[in-house]
A and B are shown apart, each in its own frame.
Chain A
Amino acid sequence: MEKFTEITAIAVPLDRVNVDTDAIIPKQFLKSIQRSGFGPNLFDEWRYLDHGEPGMDNSTRQINPDFVLNQARYANAKILLARDNFGCGSSREHAPWALEDFGIRVIIAPSFADIFYNNCFKNGLLPIVLPEAQVNDLFDFIEANEGGQLTVDLQEQKIHYNKTSELSFELDQFRRHCLLEGLDEIGLTLEHSDDIKAYEEKQKAITPWLF
């Protein structure tokens, strides 16, 4: 997994509550058996005016000019600014895969759905929870400053914008550590193989029907 330390980029504002994973990556694209290649179909039903199917040449499709991701000022955005309950619905990890494949590395919202939030960290994506008022400030800043960038510093757990403005964010330290180091969680867990085996031995006596 790619290490995450600091990122400075344009943020794209997605001003909708309850953005679900069906919207982030519609189901027809879940048929892939790969982990990559979902970026062109991120927010497919909002981004294009025609119906998308796997295997289509997306460069020839009809773009929805009203959708924020298609606006020139947000080209090359690596930060997504969102509203409450982002990522609700299905557990599909294709949602963070699609965001990551598109080039998003940070998502900022007042709240996230649990499974999506969890899935982000497994893919080098940083979901940041900020109080609603601060998220509103960021929406205002982006709206008012074309080309204005945000700097997200994971080491210091800070967001810098508008030259002097600074926000702090909270993060679970284990997740922060894994992101900073690009660690493989399975490898970390397998270091505790003896503990797992000991637990299984103990449980065999208590719940033998599970073994």
Chain B
Amino acid sequence: MAKTLYDKLWDSHVVRENDDGTSLLYIDRQLIHEVTSPQAFEGLRLAERQPWKLSANLATPDHNVPTANREQGIIDPVSKLQVDTLDENCDLFGITEFKMGDIRQGIVHVISPEQGATLPAMTLVCGDSHTSTHGAFGALAFGIGTSEVEHVLATQCLIQKKSKNMRVDVNGKLNDGVTAKDIILAIIGKIGTAGGTGYAIEFAGDAIRSLSMEGRMTLSNMAIEAGARAGMIAVDQTTIDFVKGRPYAPTEAQWPSAVDYWRDFKSDDGAYFDKIITLDASDIQPQVTWGTSPEMTISIDALIPDPEQENDVVKKEGMQAALDYMGLKAGQAINEIPVDVVFIGSCTNSRIEDIRAAAHIAKGKQVAKNIKQALVVPGSGLIKAQAEKEGLDKILLAAGFQWREPGCSMCLAMNADRLEPQERCASTSNRNFEGRQGQGGRTHLVSPAMATAAAIAGHFTRIDAR
């Protein structure tokens, strides 16, 4: 029978099927960070259990780490305790961890692909919803809670019920200035933040195929913002070329058989999908979110929608509440809205391609006077080093951006990088929820190119990428 990519990933990881329709699913890789792991390690200790397979785990601190003045250590004692606890737990149990001083440290979802620890055809989990990122490699990757982190540590398995299959096709050629970020925002705008709930999404179509691995990761990263725990892209030559030669990738001797095995991880012709959504690439324009949910997104040339035009009462109230929180009015042109802060970073957009895009637009220009702060936070120490080798840091610094150390930073403001109340931010992150970037802060989700253009212009603007 013809199978989807998800069917193949699922079937190849079932340890046993239970009578009630759940399965015990084997997990090849677990990524660990400081926020969702302390209680899991504590649980192991209390039950006197040991990790099932140490080498399956890879840890790094990312949410709480400072992105400036690292030589002073972590000043916030509560953040420091959490990072210290991760270090202690990893040392105690013998789990590989890239600690704060290690050049390989960074955001979990950036470092794992960078190291080749994320591989095609594997199952990968992490106590973080943006684990969907790794689906870009034709892997089954999804976020879990802390109890499940402990479950995977202790058993290398999870009890799971299979999701339904959804395919999102984006066909045709992308318009100039449209990036993977704009594609995923357009998809979420179309299907809504609960549109993928209960589904595993496969992204397909020639517009997706044409994306680099960095772009694909951006796309899969935000599958969770459409409600889908997993967002996958079939394995192709782009995937294989990216993985080759990375530290945790198969050895040269194993490589040919690994590639052979991986090439099958695509949906068969005629495989059944419970739902298929189709977008025409030429319809997608650069996106800016206007509200407090990622589905509240519009094209750069559009006007902020009017709640009065919405028939659903609960939705109408939600739109009005979002406008009130964001300090915006229906009918305003999004490209006239001034910005206070610019944040380029996060597991969505902090890879080398993102920083190149920012530097390309910022080159020879200056951050506008009304911008209080423009941050560039690379996703890992290695990306930072690569960008510096290419001279991108100098271009960005000369334009008035700050160049920081790797971490989650202002995406969720668990470290010192945060918005003040009512500050408006052009952010390359993934969530525009109330208070996400700091209490009262107003987040507009955009691509790195749009964020940079907004920094230069002082407001959202159509990108001139020439």
Contacts and interface: CB of A to CB of B under 8 A. Distances in A.
Interface of A: 15-18, 20, 22-23, 26-28, 30-35, 45, 51, 54-55, 83-85, 88-93, 96, 111-115, 118-119, 122-123, 172-174, 185-186, 188-190, 192-193, 195-196, 199-200, 203, 206-211
A172 B22 contact: yes
A45 B413 CA distance: 15
A185 B15 CA distance: 16
Contacts of A92: 35-36, 145
17 contacts: A33-B39, A33-B85, A90-B129, A92-B36, A93-B145, A93-B147, A112-B197, A113-B227, A114-B229, A115-B129, A118-B145, A186-B47, A189-B154, A190-B154, A190-B155, A207-B122, A209-B258
List the 8 shortest-distance A-B pairs measured between CB atoms, nearest first.
A122-B147, A209-B250, A93-B145, A119-B145, A33-B38, A91-B143, A91-B129, A85-B194
A17 B15 contact: no
B434 A22 contact: yes
Contacts of A172: 20-22, 161
Given A91-B36, A192-B24, A22 B436 contact: yes
Interface in B1-45: 15-16, 18, 20-22, 24, 26, 28, 35-36, 38-39, 42
B78 A54 contact: yes
Interface in B250-264: 250-251, 254, 258, 261
A112 B15 CA distance: 28
A31 B435 contact: no
A17 B317 CA distance: 9
Contacts of B22: 172, 174
A134 B156 CA distance: 40
Given A15-B314, A207-B121, 17 more contacts: A20-B433, A22-B435, A30-B35, A88-B193, A90-B431, A91-B36, A111-B197, A113-B227, A115-B129, A172-B161, A174-B18, A174-B22, A196-B157, A200-B53, A203-B26, A209-B119, A211-B55
Contacts of A55: 78
Interface of B: 15-16, 18, 20-22, 24, 26, 28, 35-36, 38-39, 42, 47, 49, 52-53, 55, 63-64, 76, 78-79, 81-82, 85, 119, 121-122, 127-129, 131, 142-148, 150-151, 154-157, 159, 161, 163, 193-194, 197-198, 224, 227, 229, 249-251, 254, 258, 261, 293, 314-315, 318, 321, 412-414, 431, 433-436, 439
Given A17-B314, A111-B197, A208-B254, A31 B79 contact: yes
B148 A34 contact: no
B143 to A, nearest CB: 4
B272 to A, nearest CB: 21
B435 A192 contact: no
A193 B15 CA distance: 10
A206 B28 CA distance: 13
Contacts of A207: 121-122, 258, 261
Given A118-B145, A192-B15, A88 B151 contact: no
Contacts of A190: 154-155
B227 to A, nearest CB: 6
Contact of A26 (B21, B293, B435): B435
A19 B49 CA distance: 36
Contacts of B78: 31-32, 54-55
A15 B318 CA distance: 10
B154 A186 contact: yes
Contacts of B154: 186, 189-190
A40 to B, nearest CB: 16
A186 B49 contact: yes
A112 B55 CA distance: 34
A90 B157 CA distance: 22
Given A174-B22, A186-B151, A195-B15, A83 B145 contact: no
B159 A185 contact: yes
A45 B434 contact: yes
Contact of A119 (B20, B81, B128, B147): B147
A98 to B, nearest CB: 13
A32 B142 CA distance: 24
A91 B318 contact: no
Given A18-B293, A89-B433, A93-B146, A113 B15 contact: no
B147 A123 contact: yes
A93 B36 contact: yes
Contacts of B79: 31
Nearest to B421: A51
Given A172-B161, A199-B15, A115 B144 contact: yes
Contacts of A90: 128-129, 412, 431
A1 to B, nearest CB: 9
B144 A195 contact: no
Contacts of A174: 18, 20, 22, 159
Contacts of B197: 85, 111-114
B148 A122 contact: yes
Nearest to B81: A33
Contacts of B249: 209
B251 A195 contact: no
B49 A196 contact: no
A115 B143 contact: yes
A34 B151 CA distance: 17
Contacts of A206: 261
